[in-house]
Amino acid sequence: MHFGGLAGDPEYELLERAAFEQRLGVALSASLVVATPELQRGLPLENLSPDNVPDALRPPEAQLEDLANAIRGGHTPIDSFYIAPDAHGGHGLFAATDLPRHMLLGEYVGHVRRETVACDYQSDAYLMRYPDVAGSLHLSAKDCGSLMRFVNHAPAAHPANNATCWAVLVDGAYHTVVVTSRAVRAREEVAYDYGEAYWASRGVPAL
């Protein structure tokens, strides 16, 4: 795993997976982790129909097949980015090379769980809504997730905003992927808008 910068930078390290997980305190996963067999069996049945997916989560029709195939293959362009300390005392995802618009960076994965109340981002900053009819399923990448858990926030209208999330239906279940929304330069941090609900739950105004 590339950490700290680009090869040749004083802070650069090439970490084995176990060392990376220990350093960052997270178990890496390339797929959804479903809490119970019952929930696993119910996922395709509870998903929204394609017609009901919010416009903001809809990928361009021409890219659906390529996205679905990439998800099936567990595609993660690991050499296209690195993890490094960010400006807020945490860590962020940074481009290791110039990236084109609408490039798939990876899938936002974690533990799929059912919530009886709205997302509590105060206790789990790595929660994300999972597309389902009842609106009760969520992904938590707090303890287990992909590198997409390190993507930080930038308001939609801010120049630093360069990514977005799409919901892609693959073999009966939705997958939430992070893609670039514009061309991204090497060493630029990847960021998307977390949304007003995230900041409201944390008790602070949207940044």
Contact 181, 153 (CB under 8 A): no
Q: Residue 84 CB: number of other CB atoms within 10 A?
A: 21
Helices (H) and strands (E) in the chain, counts: 4, 15
- What's the chain's average pLDDT? 86
Q: Quick check: 141 pLDDT over 70?
A: yes
Average pLDDT for 51-72: 84
Note whether 129 and 12 are within 8 A (CB): no
What is the amino acid identity at position 161?
N
pTM listed for this prediction = 0.88
**Domain ranges in the chain?**
26-201
CATH fold, domain 26-201, is Beta-clip-like (2.170.270)
Which segments within 10-80 are labelled E, that is strand?
13-14, 27-28, 33-34
pLDDT at 31: 74
Q: How far is CA 27 from the centre of its chain?
A: 15
Q: Which residues pair with 107 in a beta bridge?
A: 177
Mean pLDDT to the nearest integer, 112-126: 77
- Mode of pairing for the β-strands spanning 27-28 and 144-145: parallel
